[in-house]
Amino acid sequence: MRDAFIQTLSELAERDPKVLLITGDLGFKVFDDYCERFPNQFLNVGIAEQNMTGVATGMALEGWTVFTYSIGNFPTLRCLEQIRNDACYHGANVKVVCIGGGFSYGALGISHHATEDLAILRALPDITVTVPSDLYEVREATKAIYETPGTCYLRLDRAAGSERPTPQFELGKMRRHKEGSEVAFLCCGGVLEEAMIAARLLDDAGYSSSVCSVHTLKPLDQETILATARSVRALFTLEEHTVEGGLGGAVSEVLVESGIALPTFRRLGLRSGFSSLVGSQEYLRQQYGIDGKSIFQEALKILT
């Protein structure tokens, strides 16, 4: 996903000389080509994320579109108040980019698990929050946040990701990747792949399921979420993130306030405190029940 982002950013930087990429001293070898082509549109501010976000705001207020880049929680939680007071309150064109959402850096330990960022950033006023689930969405979301005035968040997985060029991307509108009538999985981020695995297992077991990418967490596609909820027996949210306040939280809010007759509803994600387990992304997904097989079994429990 990282390479798809940089590639798209390069296209934007070529077109617009006031696109600026600021990194907090992370992205070894990733920016070599970008730096060579756009030396005046790149800045490494060192390991200082508060200053990175403040500087980004200052330059954005002078007409630049600034992408701040780091991994895990560093570009978000470490400098949350700068995002809130400086960037968001001033409507500054600061685009915060996190590489390594969820358990992307699983084995590095909890400092590198970005598992509450969506809930926290979604709570800020005047921000757009995007969580692409595939490479096409990474490219389109990067272009979309460039074009969207104000402060935006782009949360990327480190893993390579799939290509799903259809249906067309539109900010704030979820994309359906698989049609089905009994179960729907609303997903954000690369963990959507696990829902695709679960959906195939459900197919084999004779149950019809749909899989959707809610790549824009804010503003949320309320209309399609409600339409989906009305059409199925069971509705799942799936995120590599705590279920409190993230996609699961956001969808819950919409469902409860709508007053519709609810299908069986489950939030899949992290529930049991910090993970001090060491392991790869794949291993940790299994431990938290957000791998394809676990999701399939959870769905089966409800359907049978």
- Of 14, 16, 85, 282, the one binding another protein (CB under 8 A) is 85
* Nearest to another protein of 64, 236 (CB atom): 64
Q: How far is the CB of 60 from another protein (least distance, A)?
A: 8
Q: How far apart are CA 299 and CA 163, in angstroms?
A: 26
Task: Determine, following the binding rule CB under 8 A, whether residue 56 of this chain makes contact with another protein.
Answer: yes
The interface region with another protein, picked from 78-86, 139-147, 199-207, 274-282 by CB under 8 A, is: 78-86
Tell how many helices (H) and how many strands (E) occur in the chain.
11, 12
- Edge to edge, what strands does the sheet with 264-270 contain? 175-178, 209-213, 183-188, 234-242, 264-270
Q: How far apart are CA 17 and CA 10, in angstroms?
A: 11
Task: Determine, following the binding rule CB under 8 A, whether residue 76 of this chain makes contact with another protein.
Answer: no
- Of 21, 86, 119, 196, the one binding another protein (CB under 8 A) is 86
Task: Determine, following the binding rule CB under 8 A, whether residue 54 of this chain makes contact with another protein.
Answer: yes
Q: How far apart are CA 170 and CA 252, in angstroms?
A: 23
Task: Determine, following the binding rule CB under 8 A, whether residue 268 of this chain makes contact with another protein.
Answer: no
Q: Phi and psi at residue 148, in whole multiples of 5°?
A: -85, 120
The interface region with another protein, picked from 47-55, 148-156, 166-174, 192-200 by CB under 8 A, is: 47-55
Q: How far is the CB of 56 from another protein (least distance, A)?
A: 6
Beta-carbon contacts of residue 58 (< 8 Å; ≥ 6 apart):
none
From the CB of residue 98, how many other CB atoms can be counted at a distance below 10 Å?
26
Instruction: Name the site residues for another protein (rule: CB under 8 A).
Output: 40, 43, 45-46, 48, 50-51, 53-64, 81-82, 85-86, 89-90
